[in-house]
Chains A and B, each alone.
Chain A
């Protein structure tokens, strides 16, 4: 019985501590501490993704071992060079795109893309290495080569969470390229996107491109018009229904993206 009382006592002590921490981290004083820890986390995450080969420095006496060692080093350099080339290509592709203008773009690396089974399930959110310190705000659009990746939903000092277009919480007003038909793009999870709330009388077809209609607030923050959301792959039109819907396929491959761009507000 005494042990149980002690457990209860400990539980309430830790519960109190948690509530204190919960309240304290809301104050500005603790943001610097938070910022310090975030920097450590980001560098650790970057290093983890950077390590491709585990380098073993043993005795290298025989020519074969020396060659193997050199081969390992060369492979390591090759991987580093390929990573740099990919980053450079991503930057070139983005800045060659006329829209959005490069002045309003902030480059960010993806440091986390959690999904239930990584590599098998599509991630629903991205964690990027830019936050309040880099003037990222919640509600800003994230793009790659003019394609809408998602929307920033939470921002900390050095990290931001991006809700991807196919996330179940994602809701974006959109239009089609061919007929300018208006509708709402809803995420269905698992990489699925639905173009919903389209009037039955409106003309939508397979292969029509779907763009963002533009959803900016008074301060000019939000999703600008003309960002590619995807391509219609099937249309569901029932005469008895109020609206017709269409399935949209994003042109992005979430597994291959490593760099994204946040459309920041021009201040």
Chain B
């Protein structure tokens, strides 16, 4: 079962890199940080950002900066809010997705961001309920 998040990560990178405009990687990183609250997420944000920029022909490092910025915001608010809740994940995902859409010059994004936020919340719910019983992110 430990392999599932990493398989999902590869799928998410390939999808965002070539097939879909939906910012899936940032949502994956949000889920990963909220569940684990561990430092390796920063490294992952840096690496995945560079990899995505390479595939999508963007300025190298720009996605990494955005990913790190979002995770930093979650760290800032983790003492003020209960971050391991569906409401927080939904809001966080919606804002992050919207910003990523604007950053990638997609302007009709509200409905799409809403769909992605629902999907992220759903995936978070699955991983969160599973991580209560077993360690899957290790």
Contact = CB atoms under 8 A, between A and B. Distances in A.
Q: Do A and B come from one complex?
A: yes
Interface of A: 4, 6-8, 10-11, 13-15, 17-19, 21-22, 25, 34, 37-38, 41, 45, 48, 111-118, 124, 127, 154-156, 159-161, 168-169, 189-190
Contacts of B54: 34, 37-38, 41
Nearest to A44: B14
Contacts of B58: 154
Interface string B81-93: 0000000000000
A22 B61 contact: yes
B29 interface: no
- Describe B's contact surface by its main secondary structure: helix
A154 to B, nearest CB: 5
Contact of A21 (B21, B60, B106, B112): B60
Contacts of A116: 20-22, 112
A190 B107 CA distance: 11
Given A41-B54, A114-B56, A161-B56, 9 more contacts: A14-B43, A15-B68, A18-B46, A18-B61, A19-B61, A114-B16, A115-B20, A127-B55, A154-B58
Nearest to A13: B42
Contacts of B22: 116
A45 B18 contact: yes
Nearest to B109: A116
A207 B19 CA distance: 33
Interface of B: 14, 16-22, 39, 42-43, 45-46, 49-50, 54-62, 64-65, 68, 71-72, 75, 79, 105-108, 112
B75 to A, nearest CB: 5
A161 B57 contact: yes
Contacts of B56: 112, 114, 127, 161
Q: Tell me which of A17, A37, A116, A190 has the highest count of chain B C-beta atoms within 10 A of its own C-beta.
A: A116
Given A115-B20, A116-B20, A155-B57, A17 B46 contact: yes
Contact of B105 (A21, A45, A168): A168
